[in-house]
Every structure is written in C-alpha cells, then in structure tokens.
C-alpha cells in the first residue's frame, strides 16, 4: 500500500512553473487523502513553509517519489539507492553551449548532469515529459516508454485576481503590447526577440515590448549584452524589463 507520494525539485520558488506544478500535484494528492511533501535543495526562507530540505526525505518502499528534473541536484546521484518507487518528470535542461560564453561552471554542470542522467535508464519506474519536444530529448538520452503530460496550471490563480490599477493605467493607451514571459537566460534568445521587435516597430511604431522574467545572477554578462543591444537599437523607451 502506498503511504505517501512525495516530490523533489532542484530549486523551489513560488511563481516558478515547476514549483507551481509541484504544488498543484500536492494539492491533488492531498484531496484524495494521500500524504505528500515537496522537497528541494535550494529554496529561500519565504517558501520554507511549503517545502522541506531534501536531506529530510523519508525513504520508504511503500512510497512514490516524483522527481522533477531541470537542473543538477545532489539528490540525483542518490536516487538509484532509494527503496521508494521513482517517477521522472523531465522538464529538460538548458543546452550547455548557450551558457558556455557567460558561465563555464554552470555550462560544465549542465553537461555533467546530462551525462549522469543518461546512465540512469533503469533507475525510474515511470517516465513523464512535459512536451513531445522534451520527450524526444529524453529518448536521445536512451530512455524509452515516455508519457507526455503538459505542465499543470492552476487557472484560478488568475480568474480570482484583480488587475493592478497602476498597470492598467500604464497599458491603457493605443500602443500594441507584446509580452514575453521567461527568465533572462541565454537559451531564451532575447537578442532575436529584440531584433525582431526593432523591425516590428518599423510597421507599428506605437508598440512596446514587455519582457517579464527574473535576471539570473549566473549570467550577468548575458543580461549586460541585452541592455547594450537595447540601447544600440534605440529601444530604451519601448522595451520594459520588469524583473520579478
């Protein structure tokens, strides 16, 4: 009999897509009376009431661990030794070649993690990818029999909320607003986005680009490149970086 179904995320932060999915799955499980705890290696004190450190994980042969994979964690190397059943949910990883020019350490960690995962074909009881694209990448690592399940989203978080009046005032003009959602990271190719927007403004001068996403401290050089390109294209007044 399954006693509990727990989850692990390498990093946990409220508002992050993978973290939000873990919370949705946890709520779903608990509604059916199944005990469920989220574990992580990296999280801040503001989220400490939602997650526990992975070293507190209670291994049990009558339990299931859902491992959300997107980056390296020390827990990854321990999975094969666990008695619990293991489900891999593959959210993919940033290709290291995108990060190499800005942070060699992170790039090497990405390579190592990909190589390590490729040796774990027999260490999971079930495999899930959140897109067919990611399933294909997982197959390239030697995995088979992969199910595809899109990232879970709680739409009630939006339907029950009220728009910020200040934001409405700012956006309530005749400008076309183009919104890009995603962290500031090299694989997102914001350079192409900025260049495309530059030419879009030739057609629609009254337009703005809103880039909604947090800066990553590990790739400050990439962020600086984007700021420089924004200035070179004379887009400072037309591109808004919101941060998070």
Query: What are the chain's domains?
Result: 4-148 (3.40.50.2000), 163-241 (3.40.50.2000)
The model carries a pTM of 0.88
Dist. CA 69–CA 114, nearest whole Å: 10
Dist. CA 39–CA 66, nearest whole Å: 10
Dist. CA 180–CA 148, nearest whole Å: 25
Closest of 215, 199, 216 to residue 207, by C-alpha: 199
Q: Which are the contacts of 187, defined by CB distance < 8 A and separation ≥ 6? A: 94, 95, 98, 99
Per-residue model confidence (pLDDT) at position 148 = 98
Q: What does the pLDDT profile of the chain (244 residues) look like in tens digits?
A: 788 999 999 999 988 889 999 999 999 999 999 999 999 999 999 999 999 999 999 899 999 999 999 999 999 999 999 999 999 999 999 999 999 999 999 999 999 999 999 999 999 999 999 999 999 999 999 999 999 999 988 887 777 777 788 777 788 888 999 999 989 999 999 999 999 999 999 999 999 999 998 899 999 999 999 999 999 999 999 999 988 5
């Amino acid at each position: 009999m399954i006693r509990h179904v727990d989850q692990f995320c390498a990093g946990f932060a409220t508002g992050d897509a993978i973290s939000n999915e873990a919370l949705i799955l946890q709520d779903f499980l608990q509604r059916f009376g199944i005990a469920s705890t989220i574990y992580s290696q990296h999280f801040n004190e503001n989220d400490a009431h939602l997650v526990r450190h992975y070293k507190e994980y209670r291994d049990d042969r009558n339990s299931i661990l859902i491992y959300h994979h997107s980056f390296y964690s020390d827990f990854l190397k321990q999975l094969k030794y666990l008695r619990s059943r293991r489900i891999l949910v593959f959210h993919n990883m940033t290709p290291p070649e995108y990060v190499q020019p800005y942070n060699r350490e992170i790039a090497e960690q990405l390579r190592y993690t990909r190589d390590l995962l490729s040796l774990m074909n027999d260490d999971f009881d079930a495999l899930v990818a959140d897109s067919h694209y990611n399933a294909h990448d997982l197959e390239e690592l030697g995995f088979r029999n992969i199910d595809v399940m899109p990232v879970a989203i709680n739409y009630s978080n939006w339907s029950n909320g009220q728009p910020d009046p200040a934001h409405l005032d700012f956006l309530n003009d005749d400008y076309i607003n183009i919104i890009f959602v995603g962290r500031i990271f090299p694989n997102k190719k914001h350079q192409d986005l900025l260049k495309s927007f530059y030419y879009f403004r030739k057609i629609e001068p009254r337009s703005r680009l809103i880039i909604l996403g947090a800066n990553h401290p590990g790739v400050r050089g990439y962020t600086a490149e984007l700021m420089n390109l924004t200035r070179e294209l004379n887009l400072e007044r037309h591109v808004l970086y919101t941060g998070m």
